[in-house]
Structure 1
Amino acid sequence: MKANTQPPATARILRLPEVAARIGMSRSSVYLLMNRGQFPKSVKLSLRAVGWRESEIDEWANSRPSAA
């Protein structure tokens, strides 16, 4: 009997404008938190491009206290 397994989730890479929009912070705030070790590290995409793993951004956002 086969176990119920789901296909792996698609690993999506987000660029900075989408990351900033999702978390409601500016570019400088993202890099400041990243340098302090309080935000997920970026991944190098090419010589001059970086991105962030969507799963890590979602996990980080869900770990933050809500404003309510």
Structure 2
Amino acid sequence: MRLIKLKDVMHSTGLARSTIYKYIAEDGFPKPVPLGGRAVAWVEGEIQDWIMERIEQRELSHA
């Protein structure tokens, strides 16, 4: 299991920081893991799963 920082999440998803936190507030994105203080990171596998769900939704909508 690997934890990734916000910069890597933004790079992987193509989303801006504000959009990521908006989706988190709407329960539409994986929640970050607190690391202490103000530091957080995301479970890389959960981000990859979220991306795959978006791809599957696209494929279903075009079927």
Range class of TM-score, shorter chain:
0.7 to 0.9
Q: CA deviation at 1:13?
A: 0.3
Matches of 2:13 and 2:20, distance apart in 1: 9
Q: CA deviation at 1:47?
A: 0.9
Q: CA deviation at 1:45?
A: 0.7
Q: Is it true that 1:26 corresponds to 2:8 in the alignment?
A: no
Which residue of 2 is the match for residue 6 of structure 1? none
Q: Give 1:41's aligned amino acid.
A: K
The list of structure 1 runs, each at least 4 consecutive aligned residues, that deviate by more than 2 angstroms after superposition, is none
**Unaligned runs of at least 5 residues, structure 2:** 59-63
Which residue of 1 is the match for residue 61 of structure 2? none
In proportion to residue count, which structure has more strand?
2
Identity %: 38
Deviations 1:26-58 (A, max 9, x none): 000000000000000000011110010001000
Count of residue pairs the alignment pairs up: 58
Q: Is it true that 1:16 corresponds to 2:16 in the alignment?
A: no
Q: Is it true that 1:45 corresponds to 2:23 in the alignment?
A: no
In proportion to residue count, which structure has more helix?
2
- Give me the TM-score of the superposition, normalised by structure 1: 0.79
